Amino acid sequence: MITSKERMQIAMEHKEPDRVPFQATFVPEVDKILREKYSKEIANIKGKTTEKYQGMTELDILFGHDMLLLTYGLSTGYYRDTDSETYFDDWGIKWKKIPYITKNGTGYYTEIVGFPLADDSKIDSYIPPDPDNEDMSYAEEVIKNYGKSHYICGIIDCSIFEALKYLRGITQSLIDIVANKDIAHKIMDMSVDYHLKLGYKLIERGADLLWLADDLGGEHKMLMSPEIFREMVKPKMGYMINSLKTKNKNIKIAFHSDGYIEPIIDDLIEAGVDLLNPIQPESMSPAEIKKKYGSRIGMWGTISTQQTLPFGTPEDVEKEVRERIKACGPNGGFLLAPTHNIQLDVPFENIEAFYNAVNKYRDYPIKY
């Protein structure tokens, strides 16, 4: 049998491996529940040694995920394992843990409540974190253990527009991008430099894929016009991707944006994106995206964490997995996954149904 890494490599070349590759991630509360539930099974699996950020865990190996994620950069601000209600990250961003109650217990969502550059006067004197201070030992450990067997995805997300949002606030950033373009450029360029350096570090250590992200889509409409995206964001994205691929021509690039972004998919392909995530089915039809763009860009995601996983039945989950593999699996270029971390409101039966369905339907060639 081929390794997970080979399976992903073949899929990324838009060919069919033995099976559709897949992966999933969990919010920390679900991760904890599953680790306890499967404590015996994971006892001898090498996992991460600290709980500092989200990322690869023993569960990835137990559940057979083909790709492992290493979280670096701005998005490490999410889900910090801390007892305090609020905390600051290295960027001076203030995060707050917002509790919510589900049938499976109380969870926390982390949200930004303090934006370090909300005030214009702070911008010129702001010093971003130094990428050389990032602790790369976590990436090194995972790659040492699994770099030969698994496809390694280095996360350098929240890289361009998202950084503007995190540092200025969403309302202000949407105004900046059309009305205060100098400020927008300055802050986005600063983030590009930082995340690019992190990307180089991850390439040097053996990452196969780097994951960029900027949420540009609303549920049914883009947050900004495609013209503003092309003017303000796309050139920076192209610069980042070109620099990363110059560093290592074999490196692949994934890009994440929630919501509806169909008007710019051609732009993403042109900028050098190889894999699009998460193709939220509430916003864009995965089958149509496959038909229109599937030969030119890979698809990663498509299983609804907004509706089907939390609110559907196990039968609904199985049906969705089956349909997506049938629609998006042919000719490879497909990495099946939930569209976001599996949340605490997802019934355990639905998580189980997801894995059972993946194993039932993922064999190539697809015969149903």
SS3 218: coil
User: According to the binding rule CB under 8 A, does residue 99 interact with another protein?
Assistant: yes
Give the Cα separation of 294 and 215 in Å (integer): 21
For tokens 């939220």, what's the residue?
280
Pairing outcome for strands 94-102 and 252-256? unpaired
Candidates 59-67, 200-208, 213-221, 288-296; binding stretch for another protein (CB under 8 A)? 213-221
User: According to the binding rule CB under 8 A, does residue 113 interact with another protein?
Assistant: yes
Shorter beta-carbon distance to another protein: residue 2 or 101: 101
User: According to the binding rule CB under 8 A, does residue 96 interact with another protein?
Assistant: yes
Shorter beta-carbon distance to another protein: residue 121 or 246: 121
User: According to the binding rule CB under 8 A, does residue 180 interact with another protein?
Assistant: no
Closest by Cα among 220, 231, 229 to 255 = 229
Question: What DSSP string runs through 143-201?
Answer: HHHHTTTSEEEEE--S-SHHHHHHHH-HHHHHHHHHH-HHHHHHHHHHHHHHHHHHHHH
Given candidates 223, 233, 264, 297, which one binds another protein under the rule CB under 8 A? Answer: 223
Give the Cα separation of 53 and 164 in Å (integer): 22
Shorter beta-carbon distance to another protein: residue 130 or 227: 227
Shorter beta-carbon distance to another protein: residue 310 or 314: 310
SS3 321: helix
Shorter beta-carbon distance to another protein: residue 145 or 306: 306
H-helix or E-strand containing 212? strand 209-213
Given candidates 137, 149, 171, 331, which one binds another protein under the rule CB under 8 A? Answer: 171
The one-letter code for the residue type at 289 is I
Question: What DSSP string runs through 81-113?
Answer: --SSSEEE-TT--EEEEEEEEETTEEEEEEEEE
User: According to the binding rule CB under 8 A, does residue 345 interact with another protein?
Assistant: yes
359 alpha-carbon distance from chain centroid: 22
Given candidates 1, 43, 127, 179, which one binds another protein under the rule CB under 8 A? Answer: 179
Given candidates 15, 37, 181, 220, which one binds another protein under the rule CB under 8 A? Answer: 220
Give the Cα separation of 113 and 125 in Å (integer): 21
User: According to the binding rule CB under 8 A, does residue 183 interact with another protein?
Assistant: no
Q: How far is the CB of 339 from another protein (least distance, A)?
A: 11
User: According to the binding rule CB under 8 A, does residue 348 interact with another protein?
Assistant: no
SS3 31: helix
CA 169-75-93 angle, to 5 degrees, is 45
Given candidates 62, 175, 287, 366, which one binds another protein under the rule CB under 8 A? Answer: 175
Given candidates 343, 347, 361, 362, which one binds another protein under the rule CB under 8 A? Answer: 343
**Binding map of another protein across residues 1-30, x = CB under 8 A, - = no contact:** ------------------------------
Q: How far is the CB of 134 from another protein (least distance, A)?
A: 29
Binding site for another protein (CB under 8 A): 96, 98-102, 107, 109, 111, 113, 170-171, 174-175, 177-179, 218-225, 228, 259, 282, 305-307, 310-311, 343-345
